[in-house]
């Protein structure tokens, strides 16, 4: 057999054997793994009643938990007078600060809560979770005018401005093959990291208020 014929035979065998065909069982297993990792059950989120954060289900306890299974005294806080109480008809929740979206009311004396694993660990140790809304992080209901702002609009009216030092991590393993000179490269996909403290400065957006566009109802006018 000539070299050319040998090469053709090798090429043909490669084309018929590669890529290897997956068995239906392997295909089914891969699809099952895919859905269990990225399916709606895995990616859907719940709101934690303690910290009010919407978190993926994997970061939450599987089932709602009876609020009375914890020592709830760390959650005792007075609601600010400007915010309507979310549970006015439940006497024992009068001074317990919870996010209504994470609460499942069973009766006037029984409440189940969705809770994230971080808050669960803290409450098990009878500590107030750092991110709990009862830890002076209760902002009350968001006004409808502010609910759907874009990032730029938020930045325009923010009363505080955060400054931080963001560094672009370099890949030191890169080197120039053409010149042989070693150098650090910064690729657009290189990771970034925060360095040092974040400093929050007061801002004065009031000066901008006269220049902002008026609300839509002011533009179209009201019917008499
Ligand atoms: Zn939480």
pLDDT digits (tens, 9 = 90+) for 182-200: 455 667 777 888 899 999 9
- Dist. CA 81 → ligand 1 center (Å): 24
- Dist. CA 60 → ligand 1 center (Å): 8
Q: For the segment 50-61, what is each residue's pLDDT rounded down to a tens digit?
A: 999 999 988 999
- Dist. CA 186 → ligand 1 center (Å): 37
On whether both 49 and 92 belong to a single domain, the answer is: yes
- Please identify, among 124, 158, 181, the residue that sits at the C-terminal boundary of a domain: 124
Average pLDDT over residues 74-92: 86
- Dist. CA 120 → ligand 1 center (Å): 7
Pick the most confident of 88-92, 159-163, 167-171. Answer: 159-163
**pLDDT score at 164:** 92
- Dist. CA 74 → ligand 1 center (Å): 14
- Dist. CA 52 → ligand 1 center (Å): 6
On whether both 147 and 113 belong to a single domain, the answer is: no
- Dist. CA 95 → ligand 1 center (Å): 18
- Dist. CA 69 → ligand 1 center (Å): 16
- Dist. CA 132 → ligand 1 center (Å): 7
Question: For the chain, first and last CA: distance in Å?
Answer: 98
Nearest to 190 by CA among 224, 211, 208, 167: 167
Q: Does 96 score more than 50 pLDDT?
A: yes
217 in a structural domain? no
Bridge partners of 46? 55
Q: Does 216 score more than 80 pLDDT?
A: no
**pLDDT score at 172:** 66
38 in a structural domain? no
26 in a structural domain? no
Average pLDDT over residues 114-139: 94
On whether both 117 and 53 belong to a single domain, the answer is: yes
- Please identify, among 98, 124, 150, the residue that sits at the C-terminal boundary of a domain: 124
**pLDDT score at 114:** 97
On whether both 115 and 146 belong to a single domain, the answer is: no
On whether both 53 and 105 belong to a single domain, the answer is: yes
Q: Contacts by 132-135 with C-beta closer than 8 Å and gap 24+? A: 132/50, 132/51, 132/74, 132/75, 132/97, 133/50, 133/51, 133/52, 133/97, 133/98, 133/99, 134/50, 134/74, 134/75, 134/76, 134/77, 134/96, 134/97
Ion ligand 1: residues, Cβ under 5 Å: 48, 50-51, 116, 119
- Dist. CA 62 → ligand 1 center (Å): 13
Pick the most confident of 29-33, 86-90, 166-170, 174-178. Answer: 29-33
202 in a structural domain? yes
- Dist. CA 114 → ligand 1 center (Å): 9
Q: Does 175 score more than 70 pLDDT?
A: no
**pLDDT score at 42:** 77
The model's pTM is 0.59
Instruction: Work out the mean pLDDT of the chain and round it to a whole number.
Output: 85
On whether both 89 and 148 belong to a single domain, the answer is: no
101 in a structural domain? yes
- Dist. CA 51 → ligand 1 center (Å): 4
**pLDDT score at 224:** 55
Average pLDDT over residues 69-98: 88
**pLDDT score at 16:** 82
The band of 148, judged by pLDDT with boundaries at 50, 70 and 90, is: confident
Q: Does 223 score more than 70 pLDDT?
A: no
Tally of domains in the chain: 2
65 in a structural domain? yes
The band of 15, judged by pLDDT with boundaries at 50, 70 and 90, is: confident
**pLDDT score at 110:** 86
**pLDDT score at 222:** 60
The band of 181, judged by pLDDT with boundaries at 50, 70 and 90, is: very low
183 in a structural domain? no
25 in a structural domain? no
Note down the domain range covering 106.
45-124
């Amino acid at each position: 057999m000539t070299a050319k014929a040998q090469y053709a035979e090798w090429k043909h065998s490669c084309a018929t054997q590669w890529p290897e065909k997956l068995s239906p069982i392997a295909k089914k297993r891969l699809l099952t793994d895919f859905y269990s990792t990225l399916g709606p059950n895995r990616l859907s989120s719940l709101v934690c009643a303690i910290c009010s954060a919407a978190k993926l289900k994997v970061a939450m306890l599987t089932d709602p938990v009876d609020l009375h299974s914890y020592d709830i005294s760390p959650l005792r806080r007075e609601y600010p007078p400007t915010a309507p109480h979310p549970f006015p008809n439940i006497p024992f929740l009068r001074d317990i600060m919870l996010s209504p979206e994470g609460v499942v009311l069973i009766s006037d004396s029984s409440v189940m809560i969705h809770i994230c694993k971080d808050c669960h660990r803290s409450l098990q140790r009878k500590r107030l979770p750092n991110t709990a809304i009862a830890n002076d992080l209760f902002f009350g209901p968001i006004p409808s005018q502010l609910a759907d702002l874009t990032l730029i609009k938020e930045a325009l009216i923010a009363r505080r401005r955060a400054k931080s030092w963001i560094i672009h991590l370099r890949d030191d393993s890169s080197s120039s093959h053409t010149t042989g000179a070693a150098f650090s490269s910064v690729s657009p996909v290189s990771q970034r990291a925060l360095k040092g403290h974040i400093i929050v400065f007061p801002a004065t957006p009031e000066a901008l208020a006269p220049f902002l566009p008026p609300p839509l109802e002011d533009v179209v006018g009201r019917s008499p």
